[in-house]
Structure 1
């Protein structure tokens, strides 16, 4: 049958329009829901903003009250410098760090190396911002400061004491002190009740000779009464016998290698250290040495020859300098 009046086309068009209207209705409903959510969010944010403003105002009033009641600070007062984080690189990391430092060149000849014994002196000839931070780093062995203006500042705590104050500035870093300490011969004593390690290291590469003194020493216990006193007396006798054996071996090592080694590095249990120290005729360096583990022989060498490193934040220094200007 022929559609003379185009009824079919009209019906199809009506269906298309109805479908379009349905889509628009759904979009309208979605927009209404979105607007409602936005209005709710605006209300929550407005409320939160009001609460924050009230809290901020209360804090400002409290701060103003505290400032008014606190004594005035003098112009010379400054906040205490924050101690930078420390790390102890292993041999490979230290070698790589030194290699990179040796590669630095400055046409201005302003690369600074400053070594000092004990604590950093207040009159140290280094930038004041670095001096203020470095003075917070305490070590009886002194320190070595390496400074490249506008790039970095490092402070090394050496394994052996710095003997004199030395300052060097030039187109490259003078790092011979660090390399020299890596090859410093040392007598090492790691004293622990019942097991004491004695060794002679000609450098950080290993022990030329080592001995381990082992003996039976009773463990501590917490029981009281006469049994406790008797036990402690027996334990003291065990420790004395152990110390006698240690000092006998120590005397032999000092006699044979005393003219070679530069320092005696002593660590371990404090009570044993105090009794062993008087029998050592070499310059003494006390360190925290763990009980020697034969499975990890290099760990003791790392404790003896390790450099503790601090990185001083140049960004903070430059910011302080800008504020001062």
Structure 2
């Protein structure tokens, strides 16, 4: 495992030494220069048949060496990619867990209690917009991180951004994906972690309409306090299971299934319109989860300026515990790097 970490820590340097690719490229440059010199010599002595034949033979030999070197480079490049994949598969999160709002309060208190005798504690708040602009992470935030952490952060998917808490001695390396988006990005190095933005996100008052969409069974509801539904409704329809056989029967079956789904979409859409029109409170945000493609399809014909946010959660609809979806939506995800 120590060897794997060492390889992962300085992967490019290792493979350059391992493959000898740089030396091969230098040799190719020399061979190409030699070919050019030989071509010049051949033309210079073309009247001398013996010298011309010798130059031509030398040129052919150099071209054969060049061809062999190129083949070897292609082979080593392929081996390099395979090795990179092997190492990447061994780099994984030490922990991924869902943290409820009450647990997050304790988590934040513990983060705030950590102190350093120098400015070795990095706090970064990265918005979802900046994640998209910078392929998953902020360059300013990442420049002091170890390579494994940089690799893992790029694997995190979030519609709300993330908070990074990183100790330069690598005693603590954590990423928190919040339930609600951060308003702006920031990076700070200090002798303590900056937890204000995460705490404010957790304490933010918001009234939401939730749409958990599934083919055949969807849930809609309104919540004013992030802990339970003020009102909610489960809409069920008969939707055929997916067909596994091929041929004409499958195409006909899938067409009927699509009709069933369209019927379910229409039922959910009408119920959602009615709920929004008669909502007893002002809705700040519509949150969709479950099958988000289906959810966006349901929202297509709903005329509303309410912001929409997707949440990638396990949106299983429990008949006797619909509030479990709210708990999941307003929980944070914690990644230990």
Give the TM-score normalised by structure 2. 0.59
1:96 alignment partner, SS class: helix
Q: Mark the structure with the bigger radius of gyration.
A: 1
Residue 309 of structure 1: how far off its partner (Å): 1.5
- Counterpart position of 2:157: 139
What is the total number of aligned residue pairs between the two structures? 245
Cα distance, 1:90–1:138 mapped onto 2, change above 3 Å: closer
Whole-Å separation in 1 of the counterparts to 2:175 and 2:277: 36
Residue 158 of structure 1: how far off its partner (Å): 2.2
Residue 98 of structure 1: how far off its partner (Å): 1.9
Whole-Å separation in 2 of the counterparts to 1:222 and 1:109: 59
> Conserved in 1, the CA contact under 8 Å of 2:266 and 2:298?
no
Structure 1 residue 70 corresponds to structure 2 residue 20: yes
Whole-Å separation in 2 of the counterparts to 1:237 and 1:136: 39
Q: Higher mean Cα deviation, 95-104 or 270-279? A: 270-279
- Counterpart position of 2:196: 176
CA deviations over 1:154-188 (Å, ceiling 9, x no partner): 11122333342123455543323333333444322
Whole-Å separation in 2 of the counterparts to 1:261 and 1:126: 40
The gaps in structure 1 that reach 5 residues or longer are: 1-65, 313-325
Pairing partner for 1:87 from 96, 108, 125: 96
Q: Higher mean Cα deviation, 168-177 or 302-311? A: 168-177
- Counterpart position of 1:99: 109
Whole-Å separation in 2 of the counterparts to 1:180 and 1:257: 26
Moved over 6 A (4+): 78-81
* 1:196-275 alignment runs, 5 A limit: 196-222=218-244, 228-256=250-278, 260-269=282-291, 272-275=294-297
Cα distance, 1:270–1:297 mapped onto 2, change above 3 Å: closer
Residue 110 of structure 1: how far off its partner (Å): 5.3
CA deviations over 1:219-252 (Å, ceiling 9, x no partner): 3344666665554444333222211111112223
- Counterpart position of 1:161: 181
Residue 125 of structure 1: how far off its partner (Å): 6.8
Whole-Å separation in 1 of the counterparts to 2:261 and 2:255: 10
Give the TM-score normalised by structure 1. 0.60
> Conserved in 2, the CA contact under 8 Å of 1:266 and 1:285?
yes
> Conserved in 2, the CA contact under 8 Å of 1:87 and 1:310?
yes
CA deviations over 1:79-119 (Å, ceiling 9, x no partner): 87934334223425433322212333456565432101222
The two structures, once aligned, show a CA RMSD in angstroms of 3.8
Cα distance, 1:89–1:244 mapped onto 2, change above 3 Å: closer
Structure 1 residue 309 corresponds to structure 2 residue 334: yes
Cα distance, 1:104–1:192 mapped onto 2, change above 3 Å: same
Whole-Å separation in 1 of the counterparts to 2:265 and 2:18: 64
Whole-Å separation in 2 of the counterparts to 1:177 and 1:159: 12
Whole-Å separation in 2 of the counterparts to 1:189 and 1:300: 10
Whole-Å separation in 1 of the counterparts to 2:279 and 2:143: 40
The gaps in structure 2 that reach 5 residues or longer are: 1-15, 24-83
> Conserved in 1, the CA contact under 8 Å of 2:98 and 2:331?
yes
Whole-Å separation in 2 of the counterparts to 1:116 and 1:207: 30
> Conserved in 1, the CA contact under 8 Å of 2:286 and 2:308?
yes
Cα distance, 1:257–1:149 mapped onto 2, change above 3 Å: farther
Cα distance, 1:285–1:69 mapped onto 2, change above 3 Å: closer
